[in-house]
Amino acid sequence: MSDAKKINPRPLSPHLQVYRPQLTSVMSILHRATGFSMAVGTMMIVWMLVAAASGVEAYDTFQWFVGTVIGKLMIFGWSAAAFYHLCNGVRHLFWDMGYLFKIENAYKAGYLVLAAAALLLALFWWLLCGGAA
């Protein structure tokens, strides 16, 4: 790559400073951002499991943290990221199978993903706050 660059500089990806955001580009980078945030966020699941395996005290510390404002915010972030990445991941899988390549369909599926993720997120928090009980 570094050698090729010297001989024949090839075009790079869009320069972000001069690139007008579009639904498709914003959703693309959001998939990356949510995926990476969740990758970091899996540490919470590791903490939960290792704490439970270590004993009551460690587990109670974890439960206490999850109940704090920061803990609640993290669960909110995790759930929002998970639902978005899940729905948009399905959109990605459709592309991989060769569908939704027409710009119009890519946009339609994009709006569908946003709606589905918002709906799932609302349902999750409604249930979490005891909505069904």
Partner 1 sequence: MKLKWEDDGTFKSPLARARGLGAAHMGVTHWWHQRLTAVANIPLMLWLVWSVLQMQGWSYEIFTAWLAQPVNAILMILSLLSVFYHAALGSQVIAEDYIHHEGLKIFKLIGMRLFFIGAAVASIFSVLKIAFAG
Assess 93 for contact with partner 1 (CB under 8 A): yes
Which partner from the list ligand HEM, partner 1, none does 5 bind, CB cut-off 5 to 8 Å by kind?
A: none
Q: Is 35 in the site for partner 1 (CB under 8 A)?
A: yes
CB of 77 to partner 1, least distance (A): 13
Q: Which residues bind ligand HEM (CB under 6 A)?
A: 31-32, 35-36, 38-39, 42, 85-86, 89-90, 92-93
**3-state SS track over the chain:** CHHHHHHCCCCCCCCHHHCCCCHHHHHHHHHHHHHHHHHHHHHHHHHHHHHHHHCHHHHHHHHHHHHCHHHHHHHHHHHHHHHHHHHHHHHHHHHHCCCCCCHHHHHHHHHHHHHHHHHHHHHHHHHHCCCCC
Tokens representing residue 100 in the block: 């939704």
Q: Does 115 bind partner 1 (CB under 8 A)?
A: no
Q: Indicate which of partner 1, ligand HEM, none lies near residue 59 (CB less than 5 to 8 Å, by partner kind).
A: partner 1
Chain positions contacting partner 1, by CB under 8 A: 2, 32, 35-36, 38-39, 42-43, 45-46, 49-50, 52-53, 55-56, 59-60, 63, 66-67, 75, 79, 82-83, 86, 89-90, 92-93, 96, 124, 127-128
